[in-house]
A = this chain, B = another copy of it.
Amino acid sequence: MTLQVGVIGTGMIGQDHIRRLTQVLSGVEIVAVSDIDRDRAKASAPGTAEVFDTPEALVATDRVQAVVICSWGPAHEAQLLACIAAGKPVFCEKPMVTSEAAALKVMEAEVAFGRRLVQVGFMRRFDADYRRLKAVIDGGSLGAPLLYHSVHRNASVPEGLYTSEMPLNDTLVHDADISRWLLGDEVTGVEVRVPRRSTRGKDLRDPVFVLLHMASGALVDVEISVNIAYGYDIRGEVSCEAGIASLPNRPATVVSDRHGIRQAIPEDWRERFIEAYDQEFREWIAAAGSGTATGPSTWDGYAATLVADAALRAAASGGLERIAMREKPALYRAAAAEAA
């Protein structure tokens, strides 16, 4: 009952997932890889995995039971549609797609197929800290959530490669997705404020401050700072009617020395979310083995696309940019209920 997987895209994140699937997790075997760079695909292929020339060929081969997509964003739409057409479960790294139109196409195809096949790579939902936080809120003892304060800090971003749009269309999507999930809610509007700029990032728009208006009326504020120097620091605090629930410090030795009483902060997202990535795939393997998907869905990828678009518009307009989502297909309503 080993799941036979094909991996599309063997760049940095693809190679990390190949390592995870071959060395960390059980019940899975990589039988096929493909990459736009055939040599890289070859070099990354584990054991007896076959190297395919095209994603389409990989998806089509009988040996592949489920697919992992780690190619670049613009290629996702066609690859997802191919997987759905073949009825094969597929894990797709974020961004699911890069336009609302593409998101709708994928969603319509999956709805037509009639069963969830797509899982989108929002790994925070698999993080133990976030899961405990959600359990506290869902437990209901604190009353309804009214405010969520989300903090997203990167030690640094690659100069030149990371542009002023990316806090809003690349980084923010994690905060938006986890807000939707934690609160069981949808984003209906986005505002962006650009404070005094950090001198550490040259011309980069950094930090940015975002307000997400939720369907329930709850308000989410997001600090995104991407050149904060001291570490990768992810925080979240939910203010409910009768109490507060927050992510804790990360586990780290408490040291008392001449710098005070202190705990180390993760260096980067890999260190912070390594167990979440493992768990994400553990659950994907189980779901894909049953011919379906779990966790973040096409609907969530669609929502993320809309938020990113609205955030860019809001940064330009200075005003509140509203989001109008389609009616939620029954396929995803069930999934949401189950996830809760």
Contact = CB atoms under 8 A, between A and B. Distances in A.
Interface string A241-269: 11111111111111111111111110000
The quantity of this chain's copies bound in the complex is 4
Given A147-B195, A197-B217, A260 B256 contact: no
A23 to B, nearest CB: 8
Given A149-B149, A258-B230, A196 B221 contact: no
Interface string A177-219: 0000000000000000101111110000001010100101111
Contacts of A197: 146, 217
A211 B219 CA distance: 13
A176 to B, nearest CB: 17
A230 B254 CA distance: 14
B239 A257 contact: no
A340 interface: no
A225 B141 CA distance: 18
A136 interface: yes
A132 interface: yes
A106 B182 CA distance: 50
Given A196-B218, A216-B196, A219-B196, A209 B251 contact: no
Given A147-B195, A198-B146, A251-B248, A263 B260 contact: yes
Interface residues of A, number: 70
Nearest to A319: B319
A228 interface: yes
Interface stretch (A24-32, A36-44, A69-77, A109-117): A24-32
A123 interface: no
Contacts of A256: 230-231, 233, 243-246, 265
Contacts of A149: 149, 223
A254 B261 contact: no
A311 interface: no
A170 interface: no
B241 A248 contact: no
B254 A239 contact: no
B246 A253 contact: yes
Given A133-B253, A219-B196, A254-B248, A261 B259 contact: no
Contact of A242 (B146, B207, B228, B245): B228
A144 interface: yes
A153 B242 CA distance: 11
A143 B129 CA distance: 30
7 contacts: A147-B207, A153-B239, A193-B219, A245-B254, A245-B256, A251-B251, A259-B262
Given A193-B211, A260-B265, 12 more contacts: A132-B253, A142-B255, A143-B198, A144-B198, A146-B195, A193-B219, A196-B219, A225-B239, A244-B255, A245-B256, A251-B251, A252-B260
